[in-house]
Homo-oligomer: A and B are copies of this chain.
Amino acid sequence: MAPQITPILLAGGAGTRLWPVSRDSFPKQFLPLVGDRSTYQETLLRVQGPGFAPPIVITGPQFHFFARRQAEEVGIEATVVIEPLRRDSAPAIAAATAVARQRDPQAVVLALAADHIILDPQAFRDTCLTGLEAAADGAIVTFGIRPTEPKTAYGYIRPGAPLGQSGVRAVDRFVEKPDAPTAARYLSEGYLWNSGNFLFRAEVLLSELARLEPEMAEAVQASVADATDDLGFLRLDPEAFARSPQKSIDYAVMERTDRAAVVEGNFRWSDIGSWDALFDIRPRDAQGNVAHGEVVALDTQDCVVHSERQLTALVGVKDLVVVATPDAVLVVPRERAQDVKALVDRLKAAKRPEATDHRRVHRPWGYYESIDNGERFQVKRIVVAPGGVLSLQKHRHRAEHWIVVRGTAEVTIGDQVRPVHENESIYIPIGSVHRMANQGRIPLELIEVQTGSYLGEDDIVRLEDMYKRS
């Protein structure tokens, strides 16, 4: 019987090239970029079912609650590993692989980026199975994509001699993003795009790492050995993890190991590294436009339009990317979509909140969104997930009115606990100790009207917090 595959998802990236939809505080892998589900959720669902063990997710300390909640939303129980800081992909893959090996010393691991789009999930799984025997035999299997054009934004793989298993070849060479003439030559010479996903035995990868990057291997191994349970998350030991050098898996292992193999994948794939990538992977209308949301286009060709809530209207334009969110609008030619990163850097330098924060702010218990504000008031929509509990808190400068519009809130004010149902309201005076919880089975939604002379988020005294934020 073939071994099961343990998926590990790398979900710690930031991804500012898809600004203003993707921002540091809530990056693209957790966002529904093209459908109802996030690419992280789509990735989880892609590696479900026979042949796959429960997944392991590794992500940063701002994102672990989202990672768990979004997995639960699609009915998947994931082990969520918290990497205390960013050290690029090699330490993250190694740590998650070590966790998989603790579970099963013979584990075969599939390392996946959580922010890619794959349009043919069955073909993807078939490709994984094609590489499984080679991986079980000790290869580190990559998945190459037959290029459709000479992209300069992707890395390339030159396949070498066939190995013992059908469909598996050695890797002659990995190459970084080439210039345009080189990319054209690669196409004619049969190179493949490097999709950045890997299949290997846990033991094999960790041994290669120990051989090639002993310092990293030691640091990662210690961070896993000393990991602590934190509300059901596995928190890697921060001091040990911080000792690891910062390197990508390509530099640390793939370009130096002689165990690299490649399977050609017959699935449509994109790393959606920038907005123009949607032009390649999404369906276009008769005028060549890729549109998401409410879009009206007159005499407009070959544009990518992403409209979150507004109506976006284009007249007489061509080859543009137009992205509209509630608090930020972006217009850039498709061929300059890579420059969005420079734009976001500039917005960060100017300390513009839109650079990093969404209007909708995600919290362990759910999210809130500021929907209006004036000189002495602010209005928020607050959504508390079932089981969510806000911290026991008080404010020095503001009173709050809560109107429940869906579900039932369990509200604590001082010593009193009482339910507040749909179409009921409650008043929280300045300075009073209070808490809200959703003990129900459906999301709790309420409108909060704050009034006072100072309404900053930092006017909060947290007395108790089940998410350890106090």
Contacts and interface: CB of A to CB of B under 8 A. Distances in A.
A212 interface: no
A399 B405 CA distance: 11
A366 to B, nearest CB: 14
Contact of A320 (B327, B331, B342): B331
B317 A347 contact: no
A2 interface: no
Which among A314, A401, A405 has the greatest number of chain B C-beta atoms within 10 A?
Answer: A405
A324 interface: yes
A316 B339 CA distance: 9
Given A313-B329, A320-B317, A343 B298 contact: yes
Interface string A389-427: 000000000010101011000000000000000110101
B331 A313 contact: yes
A354 B296 CA distance: 12
Contacts of A399: 423
30 contacts: A296-B347, A298-B342, A298-B343, A298-B346, A310-B328, A311-B327, A311-B347, A311-B354, A312-B329, A312-B331, A313-B330, A313-B331, A315-B330, A315-B331, A315-B333, A316-B339, A317-B320, A324-B329, A371-B379, A372-B372, A374-B405, A374-B406, A375-B406, A377-B406, A377-B445, A399-B423, A403-B451, A405-B449, A405-B451, A447-B447
B332 A329 contact: no
Contacts of A326: 310, 326
Contacts of A298: 339, 342-343, 346
Contact of A381 (B330, B372, B381): B372
A312 B332 CA distance: 11
Given A296-B352, A405-B449, 13 more contacts: A296-B350, A298-B343, A309-B327, A310-B328, A311-B352, A315-B342, A326-B326, A371-B371, A374-B405, A379-B381, A379-B447, A401-B403, A425-B425
